[in-house]
A and B are shown apart, each in its own frame.
Chain A
Amino acid sequence: MEVSTVLQSLISGLTLGCIYAALGLGLFVVYGVTRVLNLAQGEFVMLGGMLTVSFCSMGVPLIGAILLAVFVTVLSGAFLYLFIIRPARGASGSTLAFLTVGFAFAIEGITLLVWGWEYRSLTNFLGSSSIHLWGATIFGQAPWVVGMTVLMVVGLFFFFGRTMVGKALRACADEPLGARSVGISIERMALLSFVMAAGLGAIAGATITPLTMTAYNVGIPLTIKGLLAAFLGGLHRAEGVILGGLLVGLAEALSAGLMPTGYHDAIALAILLAVFLARPRGLLPSRGAAE
């Protein structure tokens, strides 16, 4: 077992882990506030990437392209909540989840019609180049991905912990009745959660595209990975989701590098399954409130 191979697998795992954690966080934001499992989260990520590529190819500088992409994706997130989720208030969790699935299918089809099937790529932000370290390589865009996830995490902590709006969102998640009684509009908070998830997803999408490429059908596999991260971590704590994402990424990469090659996909998932069964309430203990 070569050290460089192990190191490379760790680097790969960390990078993938950050991507999956970002996806998991998007799921967490919506689920935490609305109890809706937004299975269209991957589509937000895909839209972010596709739109950024399009705007860049029109000559818009990268920052502007990303902002525009976020704006359009946020509109789609608002659409999802206002016209699809809110009218279905009171429906079962499964129904709400499958409403987002219908939305995801429609987004996929529209994207295919507008952009075609081709895969699109972006150059690394600021032209970052690879770093070579003890026989392993860190791709130029990888620090951006990790940094994006870190910023996302820090930003969410600050938002939920320090700002009035964030606290109101937390109140909705923990105690909807109480929140309403102090005048917090649940519908406004729900809309905000969808909008945030869409925006975060779009940023993630733009950031990962130089690394992974994007196309109309990358949404669903990404959603699945995000689900694994969120479920593993336990949907009740953001820190758990992040850990879950890292675990999914590391299992995938370390298996690919170190396990018998024909079996590494199965092994990675079996590891995750074992973790699920060992810690069904999530990787981290619940923070007090009964879940």
Chain B
Amino acid sequence: MSVISTTKSRVASAYRLLRVPRPALVLLAVVAVLPLVGNPYVLSVLINIGLYAIVAMGLVLLTGLAGQVSLGQGVFYGTGAYASALLCLRLGLSPWLAMPIAAAASGLLAVPIGRAILRLRGIIVAGVTLTVNMVFYYLTISVSDLTGGATGLVQIPRLPYPKVLPYTTFVFYVTWLLLIVALILSCNIAASRVGRALKAVNLLGGGSEDTAQVLGMDVMHYKVLAFVVAAVFAGVAGSTYAHYTSVIEPHTFNVQTSVLVSIMVIVGGVTSPWGAIVGAALIVGLTEFLREVAPIILGGPTGAYELVAYGVVLVISLLFLPAGLCSLPARIEQWRKERRI
């Protein structure tokens, strides 16, 4: 009896330690039933959204909380993918074991890189992370005995899964469950004492480091922590990607991807971890929407038109909501207030 009640109270206190925002539970419910209505193509699109959202969420923490711009998430996305693939292909590990090891590897890699880079301030961090990403890209091509070079790695084993589900459906569940876990973690980090302090430091602008020191905060330590968390998120996503597609090659993890993830974060908004999901959904959704609609309106190859439309929509959405889609409620509030006056 007492064992049960002790366990119950332990679970209850653990639950209290980790706040689960109600919308996350709603999302979980939606995710659970989605494969019943969506076909494999839709699920593929959603897997893509989910993977990017995980990477983007790390970036939201890094940028929104720690105030650091990074064009280097591609490095950790790639580290997760290659590490996981190689652990399975060369050492014969199970993908389920490889995934956390790969995520940890991404995190470990982020420590020296973060320590070296994050003492820099301002826009230069964008340039440095850009360079790091480019070095990573060229290294994955050069060290071809390890990484398969420009051709990449093939026949990466799948995650062992219950054969009652199609693999795509299974990966969809894995991806969105990981995303929801990341979301809950992110919300808790943002709401935590450290998170709120970081935000205060960040909001005060460039000269905030001094204020932080006055407050007695070791800002550098928390910035590196945020960088590592972002790297771990990206590593998990990369590993999932590798076991989903079974083929990986260097271009998937280069600067283009880092920029794409940054676009998602800007479009979604850095004020909330939800911004990552919204941004990823918008950008991937936009691309697929254009792919669907363009051939109906125009005949023949429509790729160039889609590119133009993509740029135009990006500009328009940023002009209307410069702080991202998550700022929409705040904007509506403001508009309502202005109307009242």
Cβ of A262 and Cβ of B308 under 8 Å apart?
no
Query: Nearest residue in B to A270 (C-beta to C-beta)?
Result: B135
Bound complex: CA A105 to CA B313 (Å): 10
B311 touches A104 (CB 8 A): yes
Contact status of A105 and B305, CB under 8 A, knowing A235-B123, A270-B135 = no
Cβ–Cβ contact B130 & A224, under 8 A: yes
The verdict on A91 contacting B307 (CB below 8 Å), with A84-B315, A269-B134 known, is: no
A227 contacts B127, C-beta separation under 8 Å: yes
Does B213 sit at the interface, judged by CB under 8 A? Answer: no
B307 near A108: Cβ-Cβ < 8 Å: yes
Task: Please state if A231 and B262 are interface contacts (CB–CB under 8 Å).
Answer: no
CB pair A228 B131 closer than 8 Å: yes
Which residue of chain A has the shortest Cβ distance to B122 in the bound complex?
A: A291
Q: B314–A98 contact, CB under 8 A?
A: yes
Residues of A near B315 (CB, < 8 A) are 84, 99, 102-103, 106
List chain A residues, Cβ under 8 A from B120. Answer: 280
Interface members, chain A 207-242 (any B CB < 8 Å)? 224, 227-228, 230-232, 235
Question: A222: shortest Cβ distance to chain B, in Å?
Answer: 13
Residue B98 is within 8 A (CB to CB) of chain A in the complex: no
The CA-CA distance from A106 to B119 in the complex, in Å, is 36
Range for the number of chain A residues in contact with chain B:
35 or more
Whether B127 contacts A276 by the Cβ 8 Å rule is yes
**Residues from chain B with Cβ under 8 Å of A98 in the complex:** 262-263, 266, 314, 318
Cβ–Cβ < 8 Å partners of A235 in chain B: 123
B144 an interface residue at 8 Å Cβ cutoff?
A: yes
A265 touches B142 (CB 8 A): yes
Chain B's closest residue to A39 (CB) is B259
Q: Are A272 and B131 in contact (CB under 8 A)?
A: yes
Does B332 interact with chain A (Cβ within 8 Å)?
no
Alpha-carbon distance A265/B139, docked complex (angstroms): 8
Chain A interface, >50% SS class? helix
Q: Is A102 in contact with B318, judged by CB distance below 8 angstroms?
A: yes
A280 to B266, CA, bound (A): 26
User: Do the beta carbons of B312 and A106 come within 8 Å of each other?
Assistant: yes
Interface size on B, residues (CB 8 A): 42
B289 within 8 A of A: no
Measured CB to CB, the closest approach of chain B to A73, in angstroms, equals 17
With contacts A87-B319, A272-B131, A273-B135 taken as known, whether A224 is within 8 angstroms of B255 at the C-beta atoms is yes
Task: Please pick, from A88, A110, A277, the residue contacting B128 in the complex, using a CB distance under 8 A.
Answer: A277
Let me know if A126 is at the binding interface, CB within 8 A.
Answer: no
Evaluate whether A102 and B135 lie within 8 angstroms (CB atoms) in the complex, with A37-B123, A84-B319, A263-B142 already known.
no
Residues 62-96 of chain B: 1 if any A CB is under 8 Å from the residue's CB, otherwise 0? 01000001000000000000000000000000000
B312 / chain A contacts, CB cutoff of 8 Å = 102, 106
B36 at the interface (CB under 8 A from A): no
Q: Which residue of B lies closest to A91 (CB)?
A: B322
In the complex, per-residue mask of A248-291: 1 if CB is within 8 Å of any chain B CB, else 0: 00000000000000110110011011001100110000000000
Chain A residues near B200 (CB, 8 Å)?
A: none
Is residue A109 contacting chain B, with contact meaning CB distance below 8 A?
yes
Does B181 have its Cβ within 8 Å of any Cβ on chain A? no
What sequence of 0s and 1s flags, for each residue 154-176 of chain A, a beta carbon within 8 Å of any chain B beta carbon?
Answer: 00000000000000000000000
Does residue B132 face the partner (Cβ distance < 8 Å to A)? yes
* B323 contacts partner chain A, Cβ-Cβ < 8 Å: yes
Residue of A nearest to B69 (CB): A94
Docked CA distance A227–B259 (Å) = 14
Q: B121-145 vs A: 1/0 string, CB under 8 Å?
A: 0011011101110110011011010
Q: List the 7 closest pairs (A to B, CB-CB), nearest first.
A: A231-B127, A105-B311, A106-B311, A109-B307, A109-B308, A102-B314, A91-B322
Given contact pairs A95-B322, A98-B263, A104-B311, enumerate 11 new A-B contacts (beta carbons under 8 Å): A37-B126, A84-B319, A93-B123, A102-B315, A109-B306, A110-B304, A227-B127, A235-B123, A273-B132, A276-B124, A280-B124
